[in-house]
Amino acid sequence: MTAEHTSETPSAPPLLFGRYRVATQLGATRWAVVYAAADERLQRRVLLHLLRKELLGQAHPHERFLNEIAQMARRSHPALLEIFDSGEVGGRPFMVTEYCTGRPLHGLGLLTVEQALLYLRQLSGALTVCQAQADANMPQGLYHPPISSSNVLLVDEGQVRLVDNWLLPLDELQRDQAHYRAPELTEGQPANRSSSVYALGLLLYELLTGERPMRGHDARSIALAHLQTTPSMLRQVQPNLYLPSLEALLTRATARRPHERFPDAQSFGLALDSLWRELGAATRPLARNQINALPAATTPAPAATSKAPTARLNIPPVAAPPPRPSSKRRAPNAAPWRRQRMMSSLIAWLLMTSMLFAVVGATYFAVIGVTGITERPANPLVWISSLFSREEIYVVNIAEGLNLRRVPQAHDASNIIAVIPNGATVRKLDGPRIEDNIPWLRVRVEVDGRPVEGWMSLNYLQPR
């Protein structure tokens, strides 16, 4: 391996071990410089994480980086980067992971409750995998990147990755992570599994309110704020968001004392799943109350008294008059009247239909004659109805562009038709339809000058 292979900005794309073609530098994390690269053996894009040059020769960063690589190789979850390879070049350790690009959740703005819960459930699942392998040497479990909205990338429709963000400037790392630092850590106590739950709770709060609850001018003041304040109630920040069960979950997750929180990521994830089912359950119709028939009215027996009975007049009964003959008249035969009415309605309907076709045809040919349109629509009725229809138009609202898919499935890259750029308009044809907890719309959009139909995630479409 020659010297130019280890430079921070190589003049020519170097090839590591005859396999990894290094392309461009994307940024830097605490320990490593991150490059976009290509695995020429397997023909796929990858990320190369190479120990930063200024840390070369320092034992602690070198050991920490190798330790994290070893732990990352022991866990696997869709919300965590998969590690493919590792090694050393020029005395600098490196690792190769799956390629990942996306938009950080930080600065994304307010999310719906459904979106926030969808992302948090993925993250809690990733932390559960890491904490499940805790032992005496690793009481917190395997390594995972720090919880922060800057470290959570939105990589696909409804899919997130927890990464060590290489796009964040190094001088802002401590300040960014201080927003999620559990109070016991600032007090000098060791971290526990509920410390991660505290960070997840604050992240959920941020996604729902659009703001981080702890403030300060530097990392130290922000960390101290966790000792002195608690997040405001959700309904105080977002009055329109009144969900007592969600409020209770946030209050417990962000409790000041560790023993008052969810004990670990798994229990927190179960609470999120329960809340998800509660919010997503269909409303059941109220059961029809059984109306008990009232008992027949009876004349109450007179109460016994000690008084003497009153005198009665001895009046002979009056004979009932003889019954009168029934005065009911037989109802006239309504059948001829009904037939006459049906015939009149049918004639009126036929006349109106004929007039409608006449108007449609006259308008169709008149417009074509006036405008000089040479290509006539195949169906005049469809053409006329389109003049009065109210189409729903949406705008793509994601910087990287949005995938147009043949079927509403986010996990299958083979069904991608095209990537529609940010700001492009699409027309709704059908939906929304929920698949894999993602709302989808079937749309029509112009691709290379021709209309194409497909499915797009509603999470990144904004009504115009």
Check residue 400 and give its pLDDT.
Answer: 75
Q: Per the domain annotation, does 425 fall within a domain?
A: yes
* pLDDT, position 335: 52
Q: What is the pTM of this model?
A: 0.64
> What's 37's domain CATH number?
3.30.200.20
Residue ranges of the chain with pLDDT lower than 70? 1-12, 281-342, 360, 363-390
Instruction: Clarify whether residues 175 and 202 are in a common domain.
Output: yes
* Same-domain pairing of 365 and 408: no
Number of domains in the chain: 4
In a domain, 337, yes or no: no
Residues 253 and 395 in one domain: no
Q: Do 139 and 251 belong together in one domain?
A: yes
Residue 353 lies in a domain: yes
pLDDT at 327: 44
Amino acid 383: pLDDT = 52
365 and 233 share a domain? no
CB burial of residue 153 (10 Å; 0-12, 13-18, 19+) = buried
Asked if 131 and 220 sit in the same domain, the reply is yes
209 within a domain of the structure (yes/no): yes
pLDDT at 290: 39
Task: Flag whether 295 is in a domain.
Answer: no
pLDDT at 12 (0 to 100): 65
Please tell me whether residues 142 and 21 are part of one structural domain. Answer: no
Domain that holds residue 79: 3-98
Q: Identify the domain boundary among 98, 120, 155.
A: 98
Q: Are residues 150 and 267 in the same domain?
A: yes
Q: Alpha-carbon torsion 289, 295, 296, 298, what sign?
A: negative
Give the model's pLDDT for residue 300.
45
- Are 58 and 168 in a shared domain? no
* pLDDT on residue 329: 43
Do 163 and 41 lie in a common domain?
A: no
Decide which of 222, 252, 280 is a domain's last residue.
280
User: In whole angstroms, what is the distance from residue 30 CA to residue 169 CA?
Assistant: 10
Whether 184 is covered by a domain: the verdict is: yes
68 class by beta-carbon count within 10 Å (0-12 exposed, 13-18 middle, 19+ buried): buried
Segment 371-403, tens digit of pLDDT: 554 445 545 555 555 555 567 899 888 877 888
Do 158 and 180 belong to one domain? yes
Last residue of one domain, picked from the residues 248, 280, 312: 280
d(CA 68, CA 146) in angstroms, rounded, equals 13
> Is residue 24 located within the same domain as residue 162?
no
The distance between the two most distant Cα atoms of the chain, rounded to a whole number of Å, is: 136
The arrangement of strands across the sheet holding 159-162 comes to 103-104, 152-156, 159-162
> Quick one: which of 420, 411, 414, 422 has its CA closest to 456?
420
Residue 345 is predicted with a pLDDT of 74
- Residue 416, domain CATH: 2.30.30.40
Q: Is residue 65 part of a domain?
A: yes
311 within some domain: no
**What is the predicted pLDDT for the residue at 35?**
95
